Chain A
Amino acid sequence: MDELLEILQDIDDSVDYETETALIDNHILDSFGIITLISEIEETFDVEVDAAEMTPENFNSAAAMWKMIQRLQEN
């Protein structure tokens, strides 16, 4: 989880990722932030994020992202 928070801080350090739960819904993470985020997540956690995973529910909070990463690692 710490590694994920570091990635997010690199993209935008003005957000409190431990509490924010509407990163996509409130456009805090824009489309370009998502591009960087996907590359970083895939490289760091050795997972493949495919189109089916691209939903606000998976990216609205750091906790939701972490849950998705763990699920992808299990598969």
Chain B
Amino acid sequence: MAIYTNLYLLIFLPAVLILYQLVPRKARWGVLLAASYALYITFSKYLVLLLMATAAFTWRIGLWMDRIGEECVRKQAECTDKKQKKAVKEDFQKKRVWVLRLGVLVLLGILFYVNYYNFVAGNINILIGRFAKLPIVKVMFPMGISFYTLEAVGYLADVYWERYPAEKHLGKVALFLSFFPQIMEGPIARFPDTSEALFAGEPLNMANINEGFLRIIWGLFKKMIISDRISYLTDYIYGNYKEYHGSFIILAAIAYTVQLYLEFSGSIDIVIGSGKLFGVTIPENFNQPFSAQSAAEFWRRWHMSLGNWFRNYVFYPVTVSAPVKNWNKTARKKYGKYWAMVGTSAMALFPVWLATGVWHGAGWKYLFYGMYYFVILFFGEAIKPFKEKNYERLGISFDAKPMKIIRILKTWVIIFTGELFFRADSLSIGFRMFFSIFGNFHISSIWKYMPDVVSAGDLWAIVIGSIIVWIVGFLKEQGLDIRGKILGARTPAKWCVYYLIIFSILLFGAYGTGYQPVDLIYAGF
């Protein structure tokens, strides 16, 4: 039962809301947890046991680390001098780090087995298959494992760093990891983001219901009117890539990027809206990514919760790890500050982008996707001082509007190229499509081939829908929050907008005869 289906929106969600309101406040978290597991069973059946076991394991490891910490405090109280206290602390930290390692290893081990075992085994078999073969196993995919595993690892790391104490209530950890709107596509939250609100059992109220409802229908608008229609176009071109080249491949890359954005951000709107109905504020995942003026800025605006996770739990720990710091110190003396920064950046960025690529799935194209951004971001940073000097030398203002537009367009090219490989069926097909752009390039082929892949009606719906989404995003970027304005309007005006969006979805949504329900892309990761 995906979160955009009628079953979820018209039956499951209202039923959970009614049940939530009917039970006593103290038991409301139980309704949310039961609903989360019920929804999970509809996707992954008995693998709900893995989700439950992950919660119990994460909870236990957190408590274990805290118990060692408490023992450390008791031992320190018996010490007479500062030096002794420090030695005791170091001793206990060693124990805690082993518990953390155990927790992270088990969690990531399961993720690795489910997502990557067959990919790795297949490639090893290609290399050494003549001598020995690793078995290829049939693995059932537990929905949302890439999302809830990162949440669990983040929780354990934060407990280890004493950013907050381990949660004593198993139900709270279990609900944090499995809250039903988030389980399919995230966003990846940190424990303090949602746990208190999930457990508080706040009664339903009109302000939250209005806000949540508007967010949900806005998400449906993006997904059903625009993204689902574009999916037919992109599926067709990517499925028949050999027949197309030049400008039509560029169109496919742009169309897929728009489809992915509207589908992913649309479903995140439904997720955030669903959470809001219960008074739970789920972190945002997008912030007008196409306004970014660099690839680095794009990743601060696109799938923000994933970027934040990698920054907090990979980039920073690697940056301040002993080997990187030692190298940095030596390099600063030997090669100067600039080269030390360049080297440290490479060392800290590489694991982030390798992991980002791998996180998206098992396949060379995902590894390539990660490395593509590693190279762009690394060189972007390395040439920054020279770029700034160049601006000064040429007497061009960095903030001049034409320069901003050029930077935005340059970022679009980077994004579209990346998504071309991301969507291609394999890395070799991605390259084939990429190189075919430069052969037989005629803008006119867009008009020639367009009727093959999309009807005039669909095209109009896509164009007008995209313009509406773009205007809303553009105004938000200028500081005008349309959603806030609608929610602040009088009831009749508010309902006019609600009806307008609902009727648009009913009239122009891609469903019914001739349309197939389109699965969520990120739910497959």
Residues of A participating in the B interface, judged by any CB pair closer than 8 Å = 27, 30-32, 34-36, 38-39, 42-43, 49-55
Q: Which residues of B contact A30 (CB under 8 A)?
A: 296
The closest CB in chain B to the CB of A55 belongs to B163
Q: Are B381 and A32 in contact (CB under 8 A)?
A: yes
Residues of B within 8 Å of A35, CB to CB, are 319, 328, 341, 344-345, 348
- Residue of chain A at shortest CB distance from B378: A32
Are A38 and B319 closer than 8 Å at their CB atoms?
A: yes
* Complex Cα spacing A30 to B294, Å: 13
Across the interface, A39 reaches (CB within 8 A) one of B162, B315, B329, namely B329
* Closest partner residue, chain B, to A32 (CB atom): B381
Chain B residues with CB under 8 A of A42: 325
If over half of A's interface residues share one DSSP class (helix, strand or loop), that class is named, otherwise mixed; here it is helix
CB distance from A45 to the nearest CB of B (A): 14
Contacts of B320 in A (CB 8 A): 38, 49-51, 53-54
> Cβ of A36: which chain B residues have Cβ within 8 Å of it?
337, 341
Report the Cα distance A66→B64, complex, angstroms.
33
Contact count band on B: 20 to 34
In the complex, the chain A residue whose C-beta lies closest to that of B162 is A52
Find the B residue at minimum CB distance from A31.
Answer: B315
Give Cα distance in the complex from A71 to B497, angstroms. Answer: 53
CB of B317 within 8 A of CB of A51, answer yes
Q: Is the CB of A34 within 8 A of B163?
A: no
CB-based contact B161/A39 at 8 Å: no
Mask, B372-389, CB within 8 Å of A = 1, is: 000000000100100000
For the complex, give the distance between the alpha carbons of A42 and B337 in Å.
14
Contacts of A39 in B (CB 8 A): 325, 328-329, 332, 340-341, 344
A34 CA to B340 CA, complexed, in Å: 13
Residues B317 and A54 in contact, CB atoms below 8 Å apart: yes
* Residue of A42, A49, A50, A53 contacting most chain B CB atoms (<10 Å): A50
Is B5 interfacial (CB 8 A cutoff)?
no
Q: Which residues of A contact B348 (CB under 8 A)?
A: 31, 35
CA–CA, A55 to B297, complex, Å?
20
Q: Is the CB of B345 within 8 A of A32?
A: yes
Residues of A within 8 A of B312 (CB): 54
Residues of chain A lying within 8 A (CB to CB) of residue B340: 39
The docked-state distance in angstroms from the alpha carbon of A34 to that of B296 is 15
Q: A32-B381, A36-B341 are in contact. Are A51 and B316 (CB under 8 A)?
A: yes
The answer, yes or no, to whether B494 is at the interface (CB within 8 Å) is no
Chain A residues with Cβ under 8 A from B337's Cβ?
36
**5 closest residue pairs by CB, A with B:** A52-B161, A54-B316, A51-B317, A32-B381, A35-B344
Taking CB as reference atom, which chain B residue is nearest A54?
Answer: B316
Q: List 17 A-B contacts (CB under 8 A).
A: A30-B296, A31-B348, A32-B341, A32-B381, A34-B316, A35-B328, A38-B319, A38-B320, A39-B328, A39-B329, A39-B332, A39-B341, A43-B329, A51-B320, A54-B316, A54-B317, A54-B320
Bound CA–CA A32/B341 (angstroms): 8
Which single residue of chain B is at the shortest CB-CB distance from A24? B311
Q: How far is it, in angstroms, between the C-alpha of A32 and the C-alpha of B214 when the chains are bound?
A: 38
**When the two chains form their complex, are residues B161 and A51 in contact, meaning their CB atoms are under 8 A apart?**
yes
| Bound CA span A4–B512, Å | 63
For residue B432, CB closer than 8 A to chain A, the reply is: no
In the docked arrangement, what's the CA distance between A32 and B312, Å?
14
Chain A residue, CB-CB nearest to B318: A51
Shortest Cβ distance from residue A43 to the other chain B in the assembled complex, whole angstroms: 8
Q: Is residue B300 contacting chain A, with contact meaning CB distance below 8 A?
A: yes
Complex interface bits, B288-316 against A, C-beta within 8 A gives 1, otherwise 0: 00000000110010000000000110011
Chain B 228-255: CB-based contact to A (< 8 A → 1; otherwise 0): 0000000000000000000000000000
Cβ of B325 and Cβ of A34 under 8 Å apart? no
Give the shortest distance, in Å, between A13 (CB) and chain B (any CB).
11
A31-B315, A31-B319, A53-B320 given; 9 more Cβ-contact pairs under 8 Å: A31-B348, A35-B344, A35-B345, A36-B337, A38-B319, A38-B320, A39-B341, A51-B317, A54-B319
From residue A38, how far is it (CB to closest CB) to chain B in Å?
6
Which B residues are CB-close (under 8 A) to A49? Answer: 320
Q: A48–B516 Cα gap in the complex (Å)?
A: 57
Which partner residue on chain B sits nearest A40 by CB separation?
B337
Instruction: Give the Cβ gap from A44 to chain B, nearest Cβ, in Å.
Output: 12
Complex contact A31–B311 (CB within 8 A): yes
* Residues in A whose Cβ lies below 8 Å from that of B328: 35, 39
